[in-house]
């Protein structure tokens, strides 16, 4: 009994409190990413993110905020949940046998290092995208992204320095392998999405996204030459136009909706509850829809 007490007294404060701290940080990160996920699916405005077309609004709505169409915040929430469970495992599974308790701790430590290293590298890459201007064409400030990155970095540092490792060399060799795999996978996933993001980072792309988010609609028909010309105004970003096909022979037609809205000619725009007939320039669409972002 005295031997156990001696070990506890000799254990540094960082080693004693690193796991509870990681659990708390993981709960914070989980709450943050869950909040962003819920607001995304409910279509609500994110708090402290009310400047449309810039900053966190642009970041959270960009193609980089999704993986295969799934909001990145869902993966973030799962990552934080995993980190919290791994950190709390030795605290929850108390064993009378010191060897069994040590084994649980060592296994959870190793898994915690693997997961935290992977999330740390991925978070670092996202920070690079923000700083490099890959999103929006210029460096962006996203308080939620930065908060998550700081949280992930702190968890990673607490994992490394908050535990006694038997073989530090092997640990960092494993970390290097994890980092390479994570970075390679991340670059591969974002390779295709980067092309979409590049299109969105134009005035036309941001405008099309704004029109979609404000429930604007472009009603048209596949055979309509003016509709084709209207789409050409958006260039490569035309795929992001909130387009509604009215002809029953067209692709994914919504003829009933067109009739309900009283559409009589093509194209017809619905913006802010008002029906606007005829082609519109990008600047006209921006003015009528209340777009306040960059027009370059």
pLDDT digits (tens, 9 = 90+) for 51-96: 554 457 667 776 677 787 788 899 999 999 999 999 988 888 777 7
Residue 9 pLDDT > 80 = no
pTM above 0.75, yes or no: no
CA–CA gap between residue 200 and residue 134 (Å, rounded): 11
| Integer angstrom CA distances of residue 63 from 40, 145, 203, 240 | 14, 15, 15, 12
The predicted pLDDT at position 237 comes to 86
Lowest mean pLDDT among 36-45, 192-201, 281-290: 192-201
Cα–Cα nearest to 233, from 196, 289, 286, 195: 286
- Grade residue 31 by pLDDT with cuts at 50, 70 and 90: very high
Domains of the chain: 2-200 (1.20.1440.130), 204-289 (3.40.30.10)
Determine how many CB atoms are found less than 10 A away from the CB of residue 260.
Answer: 9
């Amino acid at each position: 009994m005295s031997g156990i007490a001696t070990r506890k007294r000799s254990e540094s404060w960082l080693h004693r409190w690193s796991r509870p701290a990681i659990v708390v940080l993981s709960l914070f990160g989980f709450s943050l990413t869950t909040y962003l996920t819920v607001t995304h699916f409910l279509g609500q405005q994110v708090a402290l993110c009310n400047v449309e077309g810039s900053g966190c609004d642009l970041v959270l709505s960009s193609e980089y905020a999704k993986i295969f169409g799934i909001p990145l915040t869902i993966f973030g929430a799962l990552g934080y949940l995993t980190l919290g469970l791994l950190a709390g495992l030795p605290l929850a599974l108390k064993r009378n046998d010191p060897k069994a308790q040590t084994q649980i701790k060592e296994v959870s430590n190793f898994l915690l290092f693997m997961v935290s290293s992977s999330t740390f590298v991925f978070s670092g890459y996202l920070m690079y995208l923000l700083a490099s201007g890959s999103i929006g064409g210029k460096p962006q400030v996203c308080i939620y992204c930065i908060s998550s990155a700081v949280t992930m970095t702190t968890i990673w540092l607490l994992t490394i320095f908050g535990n006694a490792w038997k073989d530090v060399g092997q640990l960092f060799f494993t970390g290097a392998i994890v980092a390479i795999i994570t970075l390679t996978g991340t670059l591969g996933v974002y390779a295709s999405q980067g092309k979409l993001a590049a299109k969105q980072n134009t005035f036309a792309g941001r405008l099309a996204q704004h029109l979609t988010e404000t429930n604007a609609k472009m009603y048209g028909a596949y055979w309509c030459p003016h509709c084709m010309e209207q789409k050409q105004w958006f260039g490569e970003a035309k795929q992001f136009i909130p387009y509604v096909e009215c002809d029953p022979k067209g692709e994914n037609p919504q003829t009933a909706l067109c009739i309900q809205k009283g559409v009589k000619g093509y194209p017809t725009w619905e913006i802010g509850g008002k029906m606007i007939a005829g082609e519109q320039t990008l600047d006209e669409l921006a003015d009528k829809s209340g777009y306040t972002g960059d027009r370059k």
